[in-house]
């Protein structure tokens, strides 16, 4: 395993990332991004009959999602180049991340979100002082417009599949390799929306393999919500591109992208790694969210819970074998999503509680 030095979090891989200024990173960027745990999920292993199940827990990042890695690198590079503002198009996690890191760096942030983005997800964005624009258009239209707006204003947008974001997020793969002692898991299951993070992880695994510090072969799985699954449909139909789907509603809003800009890249990586794409229903995702909380102690977003729903399906179909090792990527915290529907007990008196002891 290479000697990556002693920098904290994802910055221990600084030599493998685009050029940044160490002092600037330390003083104006770093908030604890990266260095997230990879937790053994023994109760889930027993339930599903898997040899090993690991949870790569990106909910431990400063704003609760994997987005902080790409945002931190983007902010560090742009600040070093002298930019004083940046922006992003997001459905939630990335908006929160960019707003927070821009505030930390003393930069202005412009955040574009769809008009249907739940209000609960916008307060953590606005509180950091970002300029928040709610736009009544499809994600694809907003995304494309942001590129033109960025060109005209010279305000760089670090969107979901931007090169800087991919470079920052590939460190997830580096960490998994180190945490598993240099061996590849048989499967790595990734919630997939635009395809940017999936591509970043695939790139990181490839670089680790090329560098000689990853042993074995890892098969990648792209998980989508059945209600919005253009990449999964493209995979099922044998296409080289995602199959465009109409905008739809799913509880897994973080992976709801009807026109993923990096979808074709995901499909190439799936074929290269002998992986697969799978779509799971909202019903199965919601059930998996509760199972995650009760079996592992982790309260995750529906998008993250989709990983467990996918693993259950793949085990039932005997695609994932009982002797396989599996890593599930937990991309975002449950606190970053609208609350789940749960029954709470009615209030009772202390007298009633104590009376039950008699």
Give Cα 40 distance to the centre of its chain: 19
Nearest Cα neighbor of 300 from 105, 11, 58, 19 is 58
What pLDDT score was predicted for residue 137? 85
Average pLDDT score over residue span 306-334: 96
Nearest in space to 261 (alpha carbons), one of 149, 331, 163:
163
pLDDT in tens, 22-32: 999 999 999 99
pLDDT at 328: 98
From CA 83, how far away is CA 86, in angstroms rounded? 8
CB atoms within 10 A of CB 15: 10
Asked if the model's pLDDT at residue 338 lies above 70, the reply is no
Instruction: For the chain, give every domain's residue range.
Output: 9-62+164-336, 67-161
Residue 344 has pLDDT above 80, yes or no: no
pLDDT at 358: 67
CA distance 191 to 223: 5
Question: How far apart (Å, rounded) are the C-alpha atoms in residues 168 and 187?
Answer: 22
Q: How confident is the model at residue 301 (pLDDT cuts 50, 70, 90)?
A: very high
Per DSSP, the three-state class of 156 is coil
User: What value does the mean pLDDT take over residues 226-245?
Assistant: 94
Q: For the chain, what is the mean pLDDT?
A: 92
- Return the pLDDT at 141: 86
Helix H or strand E segment including 168: helix 163-169
Q: What pLDDT is recorded for position 138?
A: 80
Residue-wise pLDDT for 59-115, tens only, equals 999 999 999 999 999 999 999 999 999 999 987 889 999 999 999 999 999 999 888
- Residue-wise pLDDT for 211-223, tens only, equals 999 999 999 999 9
Q: How many CB atoms lie within 10 A of CB 274?
A: 10
State whether the Cα torsion 343-53-328-219 is positive or negative.
Answer: negative
At 348 the pLDDT is 74
pLDDT the model gives residue 280 = 97
Q: Which of these CATH numbers, 3.20.20.70, 3.40.50.1100, 3.60.9.10, 3.40.50.620, describes 67-161?
A: 3.40.50.1100
166 token code pair: 């991919």
Q: What is the helix (H) or strand (E) element at residue 210, kind and residue range? A: helix 196-210
Report, at the CATH architecture level, how domain 9-62+164-336 is classified: 3-Layer(aba) Sandwich (3.40)
Token output for 142: 């907003």
Q: How confident is the model at residue 350 (pLDDT cuts 50, 70, 90)?
A: confident
């Amino acid at each position: 395993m290479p000697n990556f030095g002693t920098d904290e979090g994802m910055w221990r891989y600084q030599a493998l990332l685009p050029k940044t200024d160490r002092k600037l990173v330390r003083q104006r960027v770093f908030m604890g991004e990266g260095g997230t745990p990879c937790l053994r999920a023994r109760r889930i292993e027993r339930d599903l009959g898997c040899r090993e199940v690991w949870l790569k827990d990106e909910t431990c990042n400063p704003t609760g999602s994997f987005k902080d890695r790409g945002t931190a690198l983007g902010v560090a590079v742009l600040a070093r180049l002298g930019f004083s503002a940046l922006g992003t198009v997001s459905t939630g996690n990335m908006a929160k991340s960019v707003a927070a890191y821009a505030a930390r760096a003393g930069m202005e942030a412009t955040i574009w979100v769809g008009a249907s983005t739940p209000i609960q997800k916008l307060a953590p964005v606005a509180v950091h002082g970002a300029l928040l624009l709610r736009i009544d258009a499809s994600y694809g239209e907003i995304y494309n417009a942001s590129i033109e707006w960025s060109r005209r204003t010279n305000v760089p947008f670090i969107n979901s599949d931007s090169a800087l974001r991919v470079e920052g997020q590939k460190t997830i793969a580096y960490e998994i390799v180190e945490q598993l002692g240099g061996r590849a898991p048989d499967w790595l299951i990734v919630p997939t929306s635009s395809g940017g993070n999936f591509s970043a992880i695939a790139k990181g695994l490839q670089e680790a393999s090329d560098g000689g510090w990853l042993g074995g072969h890892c098969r990648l799985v792209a998980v989508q919500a059945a209600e919005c699954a253009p990449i999964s449909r493209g995979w099922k139909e044998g296409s080289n591109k995602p199959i465009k789907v109409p905008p739809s509603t799913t509880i897994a809003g973080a992976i709801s992208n009807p026109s993923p800009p990096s979808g074709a890249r995901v499909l190439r990586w799936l074929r290269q790694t002998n992986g697969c794409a799978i779509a799971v229903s909202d019903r199965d995702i919601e059930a998996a969210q509760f199972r995650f909380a009760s079996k592992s102690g982790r309260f995750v977003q529906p998008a993250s819970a989709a990983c467990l729903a996918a693993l259950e399906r793949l085990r039932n179909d005997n695609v994932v074998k009982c002797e396989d090792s599996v890593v599930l990527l937990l991309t975002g915290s449950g606190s970053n999503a609208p609350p789940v529907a749960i029954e709470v007990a009615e209030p009772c008196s202390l007298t009633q509680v104590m009376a039950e002891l008699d």
